[in-house]
Structure 1
């Protein structure tokens, strides 16, 4: 998690996101992170769970849910909280949070230490907490915390829990390699082939013939409100500016040019560079022996070849560069040597340097008049960057003080634009042909993280060059629309749901007939409606694990069945039900495929390590004690899935 924080703490929300997740030695499946420290006391309406003596507060859990949703929306921008919760996000987030608390409590009970000094060392590795001297600054750290709306205790608790997990889980995951006697049967299973018959009983064949009553439709809509929820929409106001906004104020004056020339006189004075060849030896004696061969007429390349070395050739070497790479003594000796000569062996940073001067180049001094234009460009670039930095700081301060985009745009002669209400992915539901401007790729993610009634923000479009002032002009929260607006769609979905119920009954009738001795085709033909034909499918278990390919669900089910049995399988989205009959099982033999066995052995080692870690987490939870406030969790789930909002 600590390295993760350093990568993502480039922006306010990036930092919040980084502090919301922990990735620890391959065991991220078991852990989560928090941005709060929790609270103490008994399990009550203000808590979602109690772990040992510590309670997880509702506010802390809500913050982590919000951060988890933000993380998911990086890959799925239209995802809203209702869909996130329905897909298991609430349960997974709570379990990860409980795991963190349990490991921390377990570590404390068993004498594992996380000292204040260790936490301090991790805090010092965070970005933006050092002063101008490069050392940790309490003032910079407090500004960092304020920018994230966090307290020092929250950060400390976060690092403390992570450090406990880092000490416990890697040890738990250490185990011996799986023996061949265990791996071979597993590898052979991958080569097992199964085949059977599959038939689909579609919902469309069993749709109700009478329309639903209003009560039926309302009940269906309430129960499935998340399915019809429209994602949040926001209208974004923005105003762009770039370095040209300070152009007139950045011109270099003659005095500034003269002062710069004087301050950097060494850069423009006459100088000397060398083209050199060099060898480095561990001892002075070896370097002198090589010098003797050079003085006898051998080339540097020949001497190097005899010794099994390779000479380094460099052009345009300055005294400063050679001092930095070797030493001052080496540089002084070499720059005192004439062209075509070799300097006496001199001790440097890597050993004894033997350097031959191949050429000497004299660079004439450059007077002020000849470099004025060059200096002016440098000064103007520096002034532009400084003025732009001052302006952006001033704008951010004004926003923090309550100023609006309109205020700052007027003060700086900028034009404010406002988008229509858009989804997070930039789509305009009112105009499918709408295409957002390219800058929206940077603006929209930040705008959808902003508080709807919060202050405007400044966003970098091109780092250090182009900026946008951004605020939320209008918004519509994610919610199911009034049923009157989507009645036709709801009726259609209700009909499919009812058809799916009847299709399931028919599929179960077919299943019983197959188990009674009929073929799948005969059982399907006995139904009172005309249905699609029966298909034969076949595949190996390895097909299930093949990257980039998704095995059809009926074939995947065959590998969870006994030969000669029949099962039903939901086709999904109320489309109908499959009936699957397994006809044949051909066992595999991996004994003649050592590569497959070796790969499975490595895979099994990884699985065992994860299992060891998971078992330790379960043991920690059992030992410290975990209890959930099911009533509070139920209330949160109902509120976040908008079930109360469906009409």
Structure 2
């Protein structure tokens, strides 16, 4: 029902845009390190792909939007390539979405709607990619992020400003939308509606020609369906791992180093005493003394506190210094002077007067230098090994930066270089039935699919334990498989496609027989083909609503009139469905049925979308949009890897 406005916010390919609220650039940051510096091929980055009102939309902006859209889709489909994205209509969707958003922004500006600097600043601070480790906005993170995107601050602010204007323009169109109760009740009753009938599938394979196509027929079919045969990008990864053993023998700590560390950590080796305390804090000394005397006489501190309408608190185990900082020196002195099980003398802190019972005492003897020597020596040796390990890693990065090869570095480290089979970005060995990349390669796989060929890098395989050298030694770009390599598959697909054409004709014949009085089962049997048995349907809309995904034939079945027949093409040339609806039993709904409230909410959402769609149509009529189709086509060819004009 809602198509135009949904196109504005969401691609048919499932691209997770919310362009009107944060804009393309914000989404680019949300999708992480998407490069904005990719070449545009034959088209200049300054070429216009459209003029919307007074706003020029340049090819660079569309290029960036397309690449960010692809990155969004790769979150669910890591192997999706740009050629496949373009082939499936992704670029056209991005163009429509981009121009619609600019049109809304121009419409807003035309009628005096603006996004102030402060409003844009607040939106920038809300973007997670710009937050530092403390969760707050970081100016440095912001600068680094837009730099990685190849963007200027002006571009970021302009794009966010346009998105904020779009938000102010579009959202009010649907405010307060509500459907009358009678219409909502009528709609809700449909969920109780029961339908009976039958559905048949006339499979394409049953009607497919037995003979092979001519070379001309096969070439034409392959050319028209190249998008179905695009292979994902494959990479062969070379890698080697090494641990701390690569640094060799570490010199033992000297006596002077051990003594210095012992002195540095003197508090660690000193004798310690920690106590577990139960305390009660009261406002006056008289009250505290009275409570203490009752406890000394045998009463429970907790019971006395409850009688007074107060509560005790258990503290610890805690050291004297820490307890002193939480209370006062006087309170800590009293608590750490009393014996275990005793109530300390009353003392005062800024909170009041403390009545403290000593529940437990844990005394730990200190260690002399000789007693701590072996532990300190082991600690220092481990630190030296880690330091040498990190220095080795830094040296390797410098050598890679100077052009030294992975093979040479691995040879010096005396570690084995391993080579994977061709892998996809999903970590699957290409051409196998689920074989995956070595598990040890997992931390570096994503980076390996972003790096240039023969560009070795260093990464931590197991943080603090193991490093990995790796590079993409062979890159096979995503492209349609040559017909010569997949001829048998294409022939099979051609047969199925031809069979689908005949299955469509057969569906027409079956419907004619049903209209003539035959049952659907009898009409299908008359085809004298090996076809699946007819499915008999007896279900309600409510049953259908419980399904996470409603099959297309059932969706059509619930939109037909009683006593009618329909035919529906199946996906990917599987065949044609024939539907026969025998009867419809109207549903009834109780006055207090929760479906009524749910229907009203759904209708309100639908009305909002309808109002916004109509408003969007009005904006398109008000703001002139002139497309430069030749520039769009040139960018499309560039993104698809096709240099032909």
User: Which TM-score band (shorter chain)?
Assistant: 0.7 to 0.9
1:509 corresponding residue in structure 2:
509
Q: TM-score normalized by structure 2?
A: 0.79
Whole-Å separation in 1 of the counterparts to 2:144 and 2:23: 33
- Per-residue CA deviation, residues 608-636 of structure 1 (Å, 9 max, x unaligned), is 66667777777777666555444444454
Deviation at 1:209, TM superposition (A): 4.9
Task: Rate the CA distance shift 1:247–1:195 in 2: closer, same or farther, 3 A.
Answer: farther
Q: Indicate which of 291, 294, 299 corresponds to 1:293.
A: 291
- Per-residue CA deviation, residues 427-455 of structure 1 (Å, 9 max, x unaligned), is 434666965321233333321222336x3
Whole-Å separation in 2 of the counterparts to 1:615 and 1:288: 78
- Per-residue CA deviation, residues 362-386 of structure 1 (Å, 9 max, x unaligned), is 4433222222233334444444444
Deviation at 1:201, TM superposition (A): 2.0
Task: Rate the CA distance shift 1:401–1:320 in 2: closer, same or farther, 3 A.
Answer: farther
Deviation at 1:135, TM superposition (A): 10
Instruction: Map residues 90-169 of structure 1 onto 2, 5 A cutoff.
Output: 90-98=91-99, 101=102, 109-115=112-118, 118=122, 121=125, 126=130, 151-153=152-154
Whole-Å separation in 1 of the counterparts to 2:315 and 2:19: 46
Instruction: Map residues 421-436 of structure 1 onto 2, 5 A cutoff.
Output: 421-429=422-430, 436=437
Deviation at 1:472, TM superposition (A): 0.8
1:553 corresponding residue in structure 2:
552
Whole-Å separation in 1 of the counterparts to 2:513 and 2:492: 31
Q: What SS does structure 2 have at the residue aligned with 1:111?
A: coil
Whole-Å separation in 1 of the counterparts to 2:361 and 2:570: 81
Task: Rate the CA distance shift 1:123–1:433 in 2: closer, same or farther, 3 A.
Answer: closer
Q: What SS does structure 2 have at the residue aligned with 1:234?
A: strand
Deviation at 1:323, TM superposition (A): 5.0
Whole-Å separation in 2 of the counterparts to 1:541 and 1:247: 72
Q: TM-score normalized by structure 1?
A: 0.79
2:575 corresponding residue in structure 1:
576
Task: Rate the CA distance shift 1:315–1:128 in 2: closer, same or farther, 3 A.
Answer: closer
Deviation at 1:176, TM superposition (A): 7.3
Deviation at 1:346, TM superposition (A): 3.9
1:486 corresponding residue in structure 2:
486
Whole-Å separation in 1 of the counterparts to 2:331 and 2:167: 48
* Contact kept? 2:131, 2:137, Cα under 8 Å: no
2:467 corresponding residue in structure 1:
467
Q: What SS does structure 2 have at the residue aligned with 1:375?
A: helix
1:236 matched to 2:221? The reply is no
Task: Rate the CA distance shift 1:529–1:643 in 2: closer, same or farther, 3 A.
Answer: farther
Q: What SS does structure 2 have at the residue aligned with 1:267?
A: helix
1:78 matched to 2:82? The reply is no
Whole-Å separation in 1 of the counterparts to 2:153 and 2:402: 24
* Contact kept? 1:129, 1:144, Cα under 8 Å: no
* Contact kept? 1:31, 1:100, Cα under 8 Å: no
1:534 corresponding residue in structure 2:
534
* Contact kept? 1:30, 1:614, Cα under 8 Å: no
Whole-Å separation in 2 of the counterparts to 1:606 and 1:320: 61
1:8 corresponding residue in structure 2:
none
Whole-Å separation in 1 of the counterparts to 2:526 and 2:287: 101
Q: Which moved more, 1:552-561 or 1:251-260?
A: 251-260
1:590 corresponding residue in structure 2:
589
Q: What SS does structure 2 have at the residue aligned with 1:371?
A: helix
* Contact kept? 1:233, 1:476, Cα under 8 Å: yes
Whole-Å separation in 1 of the counterparts to 2:304 and 2:262: 45
Whole-Å separation in 2 of the counterparts to 1:34 and 1:624: 27
2:400 corresponding residue in structure 1:
399
1:33 matched to 2:41? The reply is no
2:499 corresponding residue in structure 1:
499
* Contact kept? 1:208, 1:498, Cα under 8 Å: yes
Q: What SS does structure 2 have at the residue aligned with 1:594?
A: coil
Task: Rate the CA distance shift 1:425–1:391 in 2: closer, same or farther, 3 A.
Answer: same
Instruction: Map residues 203-222 of structure 1 onto 2, 5 A cutoff.
Output: 203-222=204-223
Deviation at 1:216, TM superposition (A): 1.3
Deviation at 1:235, TM superposition (A): 0.6
Q: Which moved more, 1:272-281 or 1:173-182?
A: 173-182
Task: Rate the CA distance shift 1:528–1:594 in 2: closer, same or farther, 3 A.
Answer: closer
* Contact kept? 2:274, 2:361, Cα under 8 Å: yes
* Contact kept? 2:453, 2:475, Cα under 8 Å: yes
* Contact kept? 1:194, 1:586, Cα under 8 Å: yes
Q: Which moved more, 1:440-449 or 1:303-312?
A: 303-312
* Contact kept? 1:32, 1:96, Cα under 8 Å: no
Instruction: Map residues 274-289 of structure 1 onto 2, 5 A cutoff.
Output: 274-279=275-280, 284-285=283-284, 289=287
Task: Rate the CA distance shift 1:261–1:124 in 2: closer, same or farther, 3 A.
Answer: farther
Whole-Å separation in 1 of the counterparts to 2:180 and 2:307: 52
Deviation at 1:317, TM superposition (A): 0.5
* Contact kept? 1:333, 1:343, Cα under 8 Å: no
- How many residues are treated as equivalent by the alignment? 609
1:202 corresponding residue in structure 2:
203
* Contact kept? 2:50, 2:628, Cα under 8 Å: yes
Whole-Å separation in 1 of the counterparts to 2:408 and 2:146: 28
Task: Rate the CA distance shift 1:180–1:483 in 2: closer, same or farther, 3 A.
Answer: same
Q: What SS does structure 1 have at the residue aligned with 2:573?
A: coil
CA RMSD of aligned residues (A): 4.3
1:321 matched to 2:315? The reply is no
Instruction: Map residues 178-193 of structure 1 onto 2, 5 A cutoff.
Output: 180-193=181-194
1:341 matched to 2:343? The reply is yes
Instruction: Map residues 380-399 of structure 1 onto 2, 5 A cutoff.
Output: 380-399=381-400
